[in-house]
Amino acid sequence: MLALIMAIENDDDREKAAKIYKLYGSTLFYIAKSILHDNYLAEDAVSRAIIRIIDNLEKINTIDCYQTRGFIVTIVRNISIDILRQQNHRKTVSLDVIPDYSACEEPVLDNVTTKEACLKITDAISNLNKNYSDILYLKMEFDYSNKEISKTLGISEDNVKMRLSRARKALKEQLLKEENAI
């Protein structure tokens, strides 16, 4: 992995990639191994993830934050699942990336604060299929374009559009179901 990071020409990018690997390397391996159940395949998944992270370094502003962790975990999880699919096995892993909306306290509607609304939406998103929650997370939290999501997840732009449409529909249904249950 060190050789891969040392191959980066820009000193700032090299330093950023090294810090990311130092901070998240063991987490990436843990997630990959929990999906693949094989050390060698997990190492391969982490290597592929680091390459994809290096390709997207400009999108990472702060290294030690929940957004970066969520972004990196999403990448390694998707790569691990792709490797697993190549092995003709299917398995998904739950990932709870819940942003901190503690700064949102102003009332929005009917005595509901923005924080409460954000938490309800976040909970609803975390209950969705991982393909849908990942795509909504990248679109809403990182404000990625469809092209950037396509590149990050390794799927076509048409697939991104279809998943976004289905994810929004599923999110709406989930929120309506929760509202009716109250």
**DSSP state string for 108-149:** EETTEEHHHHHHHHHHHHHTS-HHHHHHHHHHHTS---HHHH
Q: Within 13 Å of residue 75, how many CA atoms lie on the same side as its CB?
A: 25
The Cα-based distances of 94 to 1, 37, 130, 176 in angstroms read 27, 15, 7, 23
Question: Could you tell me the CA-to-CA distances from 177 to 120, 180, 182 in Å, in that order?
Answer: 12, 5, 9
DSSP codes joined into one string, 42-74: HHHHHHHHHHHHHHTGGG---SSSHHHHHHHHH
CB 124 within 8 Å of CB 175? yes
Query: Do residues 20 and 60 make contact, with C-beta atoms less than 8 angstroms apart?
Result: yes
pLDDT at position 97 is 43
* Domains of the chain, first to last: 1-95 (1.10.1740), 98-182 (1.10.10.10)
Q: What is the pTM of this model?
A: 0.53
Can you give the pLDDT at residue 104? 47
A 10 A CB-CB count for 47 gives 15
Residue 158, helix vs strand vs coil: helix
pLDDT along the chain (182 residues), means of 10: 64 83 90 88 92 86 85 90 70 44 47 65 79 82 82 85 91 83 64
Phi, psi of 109 (to 5 degrees): -140, 140
Per-residue model confidence (pLDDT) at position 92: 41
